[in-house]
Amino acid sequence: MALLNITWRELYDNLNSLRFALATVLLLALMLTNAVVHLREHPVRMQKYRDAATQSVNTLTSRTDLYDLAQKGPGRLYKKPSPLRFCADGGDSLLPTLTDAASYFWSTNTSKSFWRMTYPSATPNLKNIDPDATQIDWAFVIGYVLSLIALLFTFDAVSGEREQGTLRLMLANPIPRHTVLIGKFLGAFISVNIPFVIAVLMNLLVISTSNAVHLGVDEWGRLGIIVGIALLYLCLFLALGLLVSACVKQSAVSLVILLLIWVSFVIFMPNTLASIASRFSPARSYDAFQEDRRQKRRAVLEAYYTQREKTEDPSKRMLIQSEYVTEDAMQDGRLRQAYLSERIAQVSQAQTITRISPVAIIQHLLEVFAGTGLERHLQFVDNVQLYDREYREFIADTERADPESPHIIGIRDGMSKKKVSPEAIPIFEDTLSLSKDFNAAAMDMLLLTLFVVVLLAGAYLAFVRVEV
């Protein structure tokens, strides 16, 4: 009962305050801008993706010759833009949007190089002379603005009352201290949540009523998770505010400490740490990779030449050639994939180190559930590699199904001449799996919860020991 009373009191106090009004206006403005920008940009992105993907599929299904299919490969595969990109932009404009099954490496009179998956990197826009700006997405609103608001709502929760002398008054009543603390926490939690939830609802209202963006059941589920994470993150900063407020005698000092903590952890730490960490295990330079690749390919080529010298029998020669064609493509594909993993490992390591900062955690979590950013890109690459295998199996199966063919994959004359029906060709589908996302997010969720628990415990201890 006392808890309820304290919570109500805190809530009333906050609802009448200036900060409540300002927070509401700020959050609403940001969230509405976010929605409008998303409605403007998402359809364009989607159209671009659809056009490109359709064209790629059309080119693929127009091929009826099995050799063509085996040699040219599935063409360009595109990453599906996430309808939830308004939640977290995730630097998606810096990430590649496609992988390319390229086959243009060499050709002779008798054979051509087979396809292998290449991973082009997004070319930075060197014409961009606009001033720098962060995207206004949910990650920004929650990570930066909401955390600041949380601190502004709690910095004087204990120290303010102590300054006014009302703390003594309250504690004179037969109320246990932890009830007071929980009441304060709940009061602040609810009062920050009111503007936040209103802003989120307005944002979703604008987005979901428009025809431009379609949100399915899966997306709504993800949005629910994202809001849940945001609330957890909010708790973290409320707990931090209460902790410092209980430790410090004056509210002004409490605010200065909180602001400095906030500025260092939220604004500076992610980027500074990342730039330090990204130097620890740098990937090979592109030139070094190319050199390595060239050498390994030459080794395969030379092995082929020596083998070919030894045999006179034309059918055997054909077999050797076909082996070379396959090996060349497979090896190159493996090397490219390994180099991609190397580059991504460097970035993920740097990202892991930034987890000391809660804003990096929330950024990562939101990206994971919004289906943007690096984690999403990795899933896309996984999907591509799965499809890569499926496609190769399809070629092999079709080849095996034709009894008239000599079964020498890699050479036109060695392969089945039967027409391939367009329906049989597997089509790439870029899907998202929620369970995979949970896996990727598990560590961050635990870390975030841990932070919250530690800070809350700290706030409790500090408050219990407070001298009034």
Partner 1 sequence: MLKTLIRRELLDNLMTFRFAAVLLITLLLVVANTVVLIQDYEQRLESYNDSVKRHQQDLDNSKTYSTAYLFIDRSPNPLSIFNVGLDKRLGNYIGIYHGFMPTLWDARMHGTDNPFIAFFSSIDIVFVFEVILSLMGLIFAYDAIAGERERGTLRLVLAQPIGRGQILLAKYISAMACLLVPLILSLLFALLLLTRSIPLSTADFLRIAGIVLTSFAYLSLFYLIGLLISVATRRTGTALMLAMFVWGFLILVYPNLIRATVNPGGDIQARVKIAHNQIQQILDEYERERQKFLENEGIAGETSEFSEALGFYHQADVNPVTLTTYIESISVLSEIRPDFEKYVPVAKRYYNFIGPLTTRTVEKAWRIRKQALDEIYVKQAATDRILLKLSPVGIYDAATQAWAGTDLSGLRDFFSAAQRYRKVKIDYFYAKNAFASREWFVADKGAVDWSTLPTFTFQRSDVGTNANRALPDMFLLLICNLVLFMVIILIFIKSEV
| Residues in contact with 202: Cβ distance below 8 Å, sequence separation at least 6, in sequence order | 28, 31, 32, 35
CB of 26: closest distance to partner 1 in angstroms? 7
Residue closer to partner 1 by CB (options 162, 392) is 162
Residue closer to partner 1 by CB (options 131, 403) is 131
Residue closer to partner 1 by CB (options 86, 451) is 86
Residue closer to partner 1 by CB (options 357, 416) is 357
CB of 87: closest distance to partner 1 in angstroms? 15
What gap in Å lies between CA 455 and CA 397, rounded to an integer?
A: 59
Binding site for partner 1 (CB under 8 A): 17-19, 22-23, 26, 29-30, 33-34, 36-37, 40, 91, 94-95, 121-122, 124, 126-136, 140, 144-145, 148, 152, 156, 160, 252-253, 255-257, 259-260, 263-264, 267-268, 270-272, 274-276, 278-279, 282-283, 285-286, 343-344, 346-347, 350, 374
**H helices present in 403-468, as ranges:** 434-464
CB of 362: closest distance to partner 1 in angstroms? 16
In Å, how far are 43, 177, 220, 245 from 37, measured between CA atoms? 11, 47, 20, 38
CB of 233: closest distance to partner 1 in angstroms? 17
73 and 115 Cβ atoms separated by less than 8 Å: yes
In Å, how far are 309, 319, 321, 413 from 314, measured between CA atoms? 12, 9, 10, 12
Pair of tokens at residue 328? 């060349």
Residue closer to partner 1 by CB (options 144, 387) is 144
CB of 284: closest distance to partner 1 in angstroms? 8
Residue closer to partner 1 by CB (options 72, 79) is 79
CB of 255: closest distance to partner 1 in angstroms? 7
CB count within 10 Å of CB 79 equals 22
CB of 460: closest distance to partner 1 in angstroms? 25
Query: What counts of helices (H) and strands (E) characterise the chain?
Result: 16, 3
CB of 455: closest distance to partner 1 in angstroms? 20
Residue closer to partner 1 by CB (options 73, 195) is 195
Residue closer to partner 1 by CB (options 279, 310) is 279
Angle at 327 between CA 325 and CA 332, to 5 degrees: 100
In the sheet that holds 98-102, the strands lie side by side as 76-78, 98-102, 116-118
Percent of residues in the chain assigned helix, strand, coil, to nearest 5: 70, 5, 25
Element (H, E) at 98: strand 98-102
CB of 356: closest distance to partner 1 in angstroms? 14
CB count within 10 Å of CB 377 equals 22
Buried b (16+ CB within 10 A) or exposed e, 219-253: beebbebbbebbbbbbbbbbbbbbbbbbbbeebee
Rounded to the nearest 5°, which phi and psi values hold at 76? -85, 135
Residue closer to partner 1 by CB (options 278, 307) is 278
